Amino acid sequence: MKIKDTLENYCFVLPAITIFTVFYIIPFFWVFQLGLFDWDGILPTKIFVGLANFKEIIFQDKSWWQSMGNAGWVTLIALTFQNALAFLLAMACDREMKMKNFYRVIFFIPPVLSEIVVGMVWGFIINDVSGANIINRMLIGIGLPQLAHSWLNDPKTALTTVAIVHCWKGFGWGFLIFLAGLQTIPRELYEAARVDGANAWQQFKGITMPLMVPVIVLVAILTVLGTMQAFALIIGLVGGELGGHTSVPVLRILASMRGSSRFGYACAQGITFGVVLVMISFIQYRFSQKGKHN
Amino acid sequence: MIGGIKNFKGVLVFSLLTLASINLAGCSSQPSTQAKGKSISVWHWMTDRQTAFEELAKRYEAATGVKVNFELYAPSDAYSQKVRAAAQGINLPDIFGILGEKRDFSSFIKAGHILDLTSYMNENDQAWRNIFFPKALALNEFNEDNSYGINTGTYGVPIDIMTIQMLYNKDLFKQLGLDPEKPPVTFQEFIDIGKKIKETKLQGMVSGWGEVWMIDCLANNYAFNIMGKDKVLATIRGEVSYTDPDWIEVLGLFEKMRNSGVLSDGLISMVNKTAEQLFANGKAVFAFNGSWCVNVYKGMNPNLNYASMLPPKVSDKYPMAIWGGAGSSFMVNARGQNKEEAVKFLKWFSARDQQTYLSEKTNNLSANKECVGSISEVLSQFAKSMDFATHPNIWGVSEFPAVIEALDKGIQTIILGEKTPEQVAAEVQKVKVRELDKKKNK
């Protein structure tokens, strides 16, 4: 009877396990397996190279690590600027204010737009050669001509410009999750704090922040995962890697598959990238757990 | 108890049905290559030609009763991935094209996906072979001494030919005080025009250098002009270093172009579509583009007054070379069930009447040499330059992709003013040595 119950329980989760195995576990191992071969993606024969592809990525491929650094920089800006903006706007919309539902809709429009469309539209707004050069015209218009600049074509500013456009596109997700988190905080806590004489800053520090830690961690993990994998926006904005200055890991993986026809190497890059993302997420999770206990 | 058993059975049946449906879903897609009556499937990426292709398919069906389905998959990157995926799944259509280098082409042949068309080409005293421009056919052939290990033969049917060269806007030339009938012939003349462009609000040369392969194209043109074909091929074989003074001179040309102002601002982040818009809208004096641009410019600005020119030469020692040859080609699926029908269709498709129609409708240069009389003036300028055409796919040796990437990215950094030609040359050679070592160890 106990065995029957156990089997019955397993049967309930069997479809989910099967789908997860077929679409996630097996492809992962398959991609890892391909990463151990030198293969162009067409020939039926593959040459086994062991961990050579992984060694090359880790010890020789400077452009890979440059792309990781670039993605890291964009992620850092997203984690700070984008999430701070999202948090502030969520706090504003959590209060009783006029037209708050309107703002909620407006803030959520950028995330639902296609990355490539956002890239091309912002490219048109920013670009001084093929676009409308609106940003520079505005700077000149407000008496700051010294700041007018070829934002997307200068290696010093291209990546940061990409990061800022990415923040514009991405803050809506964080906003929505933060808002949902803020609305779960019991209002009585704030009322009690006010009765005890706590000011706004003390309420924020003593109630909002501690209770929002799990939400902040969730948003941070989603931001890291989403930003590190961004690439279509870069294609739309800059057209490519700009001599390596705007290259990101996914663009490098695509270059290995498409440009060099090194499918095995691209698979190894994909696995390496996946491992890095899992490690970052795990570290963030551990920090959040530590923060919770403190 | 009974209810528990019934429940258990229900859950079991549900689970098995779910699994079965997943399996069935995985097995249900049939290869599109399977013949359904008399029909041939063709996959391609040429958005601008779909309507003309469909019209020709109608004509073929009317003449032979065989239905031809032209399936368009664009953009070209997506098409390229689709064909590769179909090859891996042994699911290619009857006729398809390959986008990529000769190395990719050879892999498709080695994998048994492409039919050897040599015997068909040679039938009736080489009647089919003789209708094509030899340079167009060369890109689809493998010679005896090819380094890819492919049997000698012809494996594709060229549909059109293309050359990649420079174009200039005649109206903007007048505006700059230049003779619109006298484009710059030497590199120095070209650079001098850059100084004039700098004084205006115009852009210099535009091109899709954000996509890097076009940089490689111009760099190779100048490498042929400065050091000759033999030395370029010797470099690819690893017998000459990229730090050789001739290569540094090639790289130095990009530095000179940047300093003179003859290059457009933001050139290295420019995709070719943007470059085409800028040139078509009269904002750029020069463009570096392929002969396909004639159709593109016509669509963007039918009144554009322009002409083509060879890249201005640096040296008289060797002739200037430009990339050219077959623009697009079709291959027959060796595993397809309609091989013979596919070959018959391609014979009909590549014949004069059909190619003339295609050339007139799409402004592309036909690979059939009997159609040259019916093309526009600019297109005929492109066609005349075929004498200077070469292509990496007919060199018999291929440079390592990592080296090409290092060279192209290096040139980007020169244009950005971040590195000197000497630095880039040293870096490219370092990658070359690494790749050669890897090849030896294999």
Mutation site, A53, A130, A261, interface B, largest B CB count within 10 A: A130
**Residue A177 counted as domain residue:** yes
Would you say the ipTM is above 0.90? no
- Tell whether A259 is within 8 A of chain B (Cβ): yes
- Tell whether B118 is within 8 A of chain A (Cβ): no
> B137 vs A278, B96, B330, B356, B409, CA distance in Å?
50, 16, 11, 18, 32
pLDDT band of residue A124 (cuts 50, 70, 90) is confident
Domain range for A88: 57-293
Q: What residue of A is the nearest CA neighbor of B87?
A: A42
Strand partners, B429: none
Give the pLDDT of residue B374: 65
- The domain covering B165-322+397-441 belongs, at the CATH homologous superfamily level, to Periplasmic binding protein-like II (3.40.190.10)
Are the Cβ atoms of B103 and A40 closer than 8 angstroms?
A: yes
Lowest model confidence (mean pLDDT) among A242-251, B54-63, B315-324, B370-379:
B370-379
- Chain B: nearest CA to A245, how far in angstroms? 10
**Residue A171 counted as domain residue:** yes
Q: How many domains does chain A have?
A: 1
- What residues of B are in contact with residue A19 (Cβ under 8 Å)? 22
- What residues of B are in contact with residue A239 (Cβ under 8 Å)? 210-211, 269-271, 274
| Cα B206–Cα B207–Cα B213 angle in degrees, nearest 5 | 155
- Tell whether A44 is within 8 A of chain B (Cβ): yes
- Tell whether A250 is within 8 A of chain B (Cβ): no
- The domain covering B39-162+324-394 belongs, at the CATH homologous superfamily level, to Periplasmic binding protein-like II (3.40.190.10)
Six-digit token string for B290? 């392929």
Q: Which string of b and e fits B40-71 if b means at least 16 CB within 10 Å?
A: bbbbbbbeebbebbeebbeebeeeeebebbbe
Question: In degrees to the nearest 10, what's the CA dihedral of B247, B251, B252, B255?
Answer: 180
pLDDT in tens, A72-116: 999 999 999 999 999 999 998 887 777 878 888 888 899 999 999
Mean pLDDT of chain B: 87
- Tell whether B21 is within 8 A of chain A (Cβ): no
- Tell whether B17 is within 8 A of chain A (Cβ): no
Give the pLDDT of residue B15: 52
Integer Cα distance of B257 and B245 in angstroms: 18
For residue B378, pLDDT over 90 is answered with no
- Tell whether B370 is within 8 A of chain A (Cβ): no
pLDDT band of residue B28 (cuts 50, 70, 90) is very low
**Which value, in Å, is the radius of gyration of the alpha carbons in chain A?**
24
pLDDT in tens, B92-119: 999 999 987 888 899 999 999 999 999 9
**Residue A38 counted as domain residue:** no
Q: Who among A11, A129, A158 is closest to B265 (CB)?
A: A129
pLDDT band of residue A1 (cuts 50, 70, 90) is low
For range A132-152, the mean pLDDT: 86
- Chain B: nearest CA to A155, how far in angstroms? 8
- What residues of A are in contact with residue B113 (Cβ under 8 Å)? 42
Give the pLDDT of residue B135: 83
Q: What residue of A is the nearest CA neighbor of B108?
A: A42
pLDDT band of residue A37 (cuts 50, 70, 90) is very high
Are the Cβ atoms of A4 and B103 closer than 8 angstroms?
A: no
Are the Cβ atoms of A4 and B8 closer than 8 angstroms?
A: yes
Most confident by average pLDDT, A89-98, A141-150, B330-339: B330-339
Determine contact, residues A227/A71, Cβ cutoff 8 Å: yes
Give the pLDDT of residue B36: 46
- Tell whether A13 is within 8 A of chain B (Cβ): no
For residue A294, pLDDT over 70 is answered with no
Place of tokens 């934002």: A151
Determine contact, residues A131/A122, Cβ cutoff 8 Å: no
Integer Cα distance of B191 and B194 in angstroms: 5
**Residue A273 counted as domain residue:** yes
Q: Who among B22, B77, B211 is closest to A18 (CB)?
A: B22
| Closest-CA residue to B312 (of B162, B171, B168) | B168
Pairing of strands B284-290, B203-206: parallel
pLDDT in tens, B196-242: 998 888 999 999 988 788 899 999 999 999 999 999 999 999 999 99
pLDDT in tens, A64-79: 999 999 999 999 999 9
Phi and psi angles of residue B399, each rounded to the nearest 5 degrees, phi first: -75, 150
Q: Where are the domains of chain B?
A: 39-162+324-394, 165-322+397-441
The residue ranking higher by pLDDT, A57 or A147, is A57
Mutation site, A6, A24, A129, A265, interface B, largest B CB count within 10 A: A129
**Residue A277 counted as domain residue:** yes
For residue B11, pLDDT over 80 is answered with no
Give the pLDDT of residue B24: 42
Integer Cα distance of A178 and A172 in angstroms: 10
Integer Cα distance of A5 and A15 in angstroms: 17
For residue A248, what is the domain's CATH number?
1.10.3720.10
pLDDT in tens, B166-191: 999 999 999 999 999 999 999 999 99
**Residue A16 counted as domain residue:** no
For residue A43, pLDDT over 70 is answered with yes
pLDDT in tens, A183-227: 999 999 999 999 999 999 999 999 999 999 889 999 999 999 999
